[in-house]
Structure 1
Amino acid sequence: MTAVTPAFHAIIVGDEILSGKRADKHLTKIIELLGARGLALSQAEYVGDDPARITAMLSRAFATPGTVTFSCGGIGATPDDHTRQCAAAALSRPLVLHPGAADLIRERMRDVAAEQGLPYEPDRPDNVHRLNMGMFPDGAAIIPNPYNKIAGFSCSQPGGGAVYFVPGFPVMAWPMIEWVLDQHYAEHFNRTPQTEHSVIVMGAMEASLTPLMESVEREHPGIRVFSLPSVDHPQYGRHIELGVKGAAQQVPAAWVRLRQGLHEFGATLGPEMVRTL
């Protein structure tokens, strides 16, 4: 039996994103990483450094069966980092020092000391504090960080969803997300070429085209019909970009059916677009 592909979600944490101090780069990259593997993002949420809101968001993620959530940001050990504590609260588990994460943190501290030509002092207060970055909810698994060895972590709820926690820094987060996908979800990859074929429909209303869209999807299982309306395009004015997308070998027949339906409808058509996904 083929395993059901999970729904992939993203949570982006940080006041700096919501205030506009920093522009989020994670969302487009996660979409890209999933798309390269024939997968798609189903949901994305942003949240500031508010423990109650983060906990509520994570509680929903853990409670939702069949979902995989990537949480980016807030897993450091400064006062504005709350994600580790919120994950523990959402799971009703204690925070504990993960032995593997602690070993990696100590290894990183030894590396830094050697690079600086200084002795490694594990009991120095700042080094002891750094071990807090290895405090994860009890039962968590680590996600290796190839950039500086400070691990992320993952947790799941029986019968619910899995959440993978990575840093807010793209240089660390993105290879960690790739590792999670390649290590845990390769069975769901669909590297069959996907195609999108669309046309500009001038002056049309979505409601009037909905029956045609529904019939194309009904007659061509596996194909998705999409519509992107615009009301003030500088060249086309009010229009809809209407198209079909799916496996490359399935799209041509669905496209012929859609075009036929548009001609029968009497639609005024503009340029066509073909895109490989």
Structure 2
Amino acid sequence: MKVGLIIIGDEILSGKRQDKHMSTFIQLLAARGMQLDWAKYLADDPAQITEHLRQAFASGDLVISCGGIGATPDDHTRQSAAAALGAELVLHPEAKELIWQRITQMAQEQGQASPDPEAGDTLRRLQMGVFPAGAEIIPNPFNKIPGFSVGTVYFVPGFPVMAHPMMAWVLDERHADLHRTVGLQERSLIVQGAMEASLTPLMEAVEAQFAGIKVFSLPSVDHPQWGRHIELGVKGAPEQMEAAYAALKTGVLDFGAIISTEMVR
């Protein structure tokens, strides 16, 4: 199962706010021996969100979508998820209870009388529990307002303080079977005196010989320590790493390039 991340919000694309989700999600995955396979940034555009969610539901991937699940006019994720599924939007009974608990708690903290269940503010807040029919909730330890999931696509708020523990809950409670005691590994060389194009046949040969191993190349022209160089490496399952790395290193030396240093991650 691949792992994907969707981050929704005009404020991210405009630069008003910096994305904090991807780096944290990568760390959460790495701590469980997993890795991120793809990520998308989307605007607050219902048609765009619907199309990408339709792809996510069809992919069978583990996908976490961040943002847009509130109840203000610029929040479109809940509605777009329903449209992508061809499902109705319904008030989830457990979400309703959790939101009501939060409303009551807020009233008590402010020294107010018991809240009116039919008040306009109450009804607007309850909209945050309106999910596609058949959805399951994701608990929110910060303020009780839940996220939701359909299949292996999970929807959490845009606020990092809420989203990040909810991401961890998804990985631990719904996908513990994907955790690895030893995650994917990476080894690389700092190579000088060679061009990417010249090393491409070697990279292709290593990938062809070791199924499940990916070869990567990261060129740099102005590194403060190594100057012009290529970081050339392999990443993949531990059981294939040593042989694949040895083949790559031998190929670089046979080519006549210089290896400045070696790295393990």
Deviation at 1:237, TM superposition (A): 3.4
1:134 aligned residue (113, 122, 129): 129
The CA RMSD over aligned residues, in Å, is 1.7
Counterpart residue type for residue 157 of structure 2: P
Deviation at 1:201, TM superposition (A): 0.9
Describe the superposition over 1:171-204 as per-residue Cα deviations: whole angstroms up to 9, x where unpaired.
1101111111111111111121544221111142
Residues 17-28 of structure 1 correspond to what in structure 2 (within 5 A)? 17-28=12-23
Give the % identical residues: 61
What is the rounded CA distance, in whole Å, between the counterparts of 2:46 and 2:193 in structure 1? Answer: 47
Deviation at 1:129, TM superposition (A): 1.3
Q: Which residue does 1:71 correspond to in 2?
A: 65
1:271 is the counterpart of 2:261: yes
2:201 aligned residue (211, 217, 220): 211
Native 8 Å contact 1:201 1:240 kept in 2: yes
Describe the superposition over 1:133-160 as per-residue Cα deviations: whole angstroms up to 9, x where unpaired.
000011111111111110000113xxxx
Counterpart residue type for residue 100 of structure 2: R
What is the rounded CA distance, in whole Å, between the counterparts of 2:89 and 2:184 in structure 1? Answer: 43
Residues 23-102 of structure 1 correspond to what in structure 2 (within 5 A)? 23-64=18-59, 66-102=60-96
Residues 91-170 of structure 1 correspond to what in structure 2 (within 5 A)? 91-121=85-115, 122-156=117-151, 162-170=152-160
Q: TM-score, normalised by structure 1?
A: 0.89
Q: Which residue does 2:235 correspond to in 1?
A: 245
Give unmatched runs, 5+ long, in structure 2: none
Native 8 Å contact 1:36 1:191 kept in 2: no
1:261 aligned residue (238, 251, 254): 251
Deviation at 1:251, TM superposition (A): 2.9
Native 8 Å contact 2:191 2:259 kept in 1: yes
Q: Which residue does 1:174 correspond to in 2?
A: 164
What is the rounded CA distance, in whole Å, between the counterparts of 1:215 and 1:87 in structure 2? Answer: 43
What is the rounded CA distance, in whole Å, between the counterparts of 1:45 and 1:138 in structure 2? Answer: 25
What is the rounded CA distance, in whole Å, between the counterparts of 1:60 and 1:222 in structure 2? Answer: 25
What is the rounded CA distance, in whole Å, between the counterparts of 1:115 and 1:126 in structure 2? Answer: 17
What is the rounded CA distance, in whole Å, between the counterparts of 1:198 and 1:99 in structure 2? Answer: 52
What is the rounded CA distance, in whole Å, between the counterparts of 2:101 and 2:133 in structure 1? Answer: 22
Deviation at 1:116, TM superposition (A): 1.9
Counterpart residue type for residue 152 of structure 1: G
Counterpart residue type for residue 105 of structure 2: D
